[in-house]
Chains A and B, each alone.
Chain A
Amino acid sequence: MSADAPKRVAFIAHCLLNQNAKVEGGAKRPGMWEPVIELLRERGYTIRQMPCPELAFGGARRFWGVREQFDTPIYRRHCRRLAKLVAAVIAQHAAAGDDVVLIGIDSSPMMGIDFTPSAPHWSGKPDIVEDDSTLVRGDGIFVEELKAELAERGLPEPRSTGIRHWFADYDPDEELERLGALLR
């Protein structure tokens, strides 16, 4: 990007800076998820906010969903359009020699890094009383498309981790330790 000294840059899921983008019922805070933002600032990271694929496609009043519902060609094309933008920004940082990391959301069908929600039986009338989805290993659909776009551009995958604040056994101390290791 510029001729300045290499920077440390964190590409973060949109909702970490904007909880209003969460699906209704999914926000944890009024505006931002401060634990991540504060840690990035403490460590001197430049923040790059990624778009929210779910908000952009399904809107602010979308229903909850799982990976299988979104894994369609048109949704993947939508994600690839957004991924091309993110990859173009990563490419400029990579060309400048910057250290790039990626922070997603491990309860998201789009932004999952190590986990993503799955429920192959979800369909039809949206009246699921109890959330019986499970978290399975793997990337969310947007993250898959982003990695594919980076590979096509010959760019390496950034180091990455996912925020797990919607996990039933969420442990803030474990998360801070894992983030700390990422932001070395």
Chain B
Amino acid sequence: MLKLKHLVVSTCVGTLLAVCSTQLVAEETVTVLHNQQDQFIRDTWDEIRVDFEAQNPNITVQLDFMDDDAMKARLPTLLQSNAKPDLYWSFGGGNYRVRAEAGLLADITDKADRLRANIGSGAMSAFEVNGRLYGAPYRLAQVGFWYNKSLFEQAGVNADTIETWDDFLDAVSTLKEAGITPIAAGGAERWPLHFYWTYLAMRIGGQDLFQSILADEASFDNEHYVRAGEELRRLAELDPFQPGYRGMAYNEAAGVFGNGQAAIHLMGEWDIGVQTSESESGEGVSGDNLGYFNFPMVDGGMGDPSATLGGVDGWAFTSGNGSDAAVRWLEFFLAPEQQRKLAAAGIIIPVANGAAEAVEDPHMKQIAENIANSSWHQVFWDQALGADVGGVINDVSAELFAGEISPEEAVDRVQQAWDFR
């Protein structure tokens, strides 16, 4: 009995003390939810967190990890619960827009002066919805052709001479004739295939057409996007992919490329790491052997060949959580100094002004320049147009490659989904 009394008293005192101390120091905790699997990147983030906490002793930052798939599945409910984080990792695009419009995100437009001063306006605009800001970008990504230099050499193909789509198709045929599987593709997941159709549509149709489609002034069902399907069919008829590509997921295809079993892989710069870790040797296509070239222009296309397809990924504030402390953390995390540090470590292509110079990896450097010189950096269509229309675009791209639908049917189905969005 005495023991119990003792316990009760000590607990009461303890709680009282705890309550007092938090009120005195007014400690604030900023919770951040992310899906970053790479331990090296997480460690680097953690160093930044320690620096921040040293400078802001009354703010604690908590970086919480959740697996990518789990996060996608849980976010819709999490965002409506009290357990939501202050900030979460976002790919921007349609999902971000829908959530902002639904009031699930915090409007930080009035607190964003320092963020705006540090970050390029092009990247920033990816996190604006109707002129209001609900988050900020963290890194850029571009999709392009990764290739295996020794396989190209073996087949006698020079990547530097590939300027048009026709050149590219010639290169694929030459590789094929040399007995090399030209391209690796993760057809089972479909989105790796949609890069082909959407890049072709960008090259052929151009930016103005895409913008007027978004504004409902034009239709996906237009001659340019039909031609994109026709050009895609020309590639498909060469039978360019590894056998059984329709049953392989993205990471399996990255492994095929990393093993040197295929010469080309159309993918974002994250593929440098993935093709390495998925290869049998664990080394992938490494160092000087790995090459990169941009998606070529298409003869007669209206699109600017400098336009890039890729991502602008960043962080979003959940509703009710755009506190000063959270904004201050993001300002610190996205400041040129930290961005330079991350860029130098080969982790990101930075969005902060002046940080791009710090990129050292030659491929990352080239991509950073591509995006900087791009007249139109378009976010992946399957993200930009939302899960629903994006899903249909992925479907029709896969079916076009399989020859199961015509280019006309493809645009028709995308427009149908767009009308009924």
A binds B: no
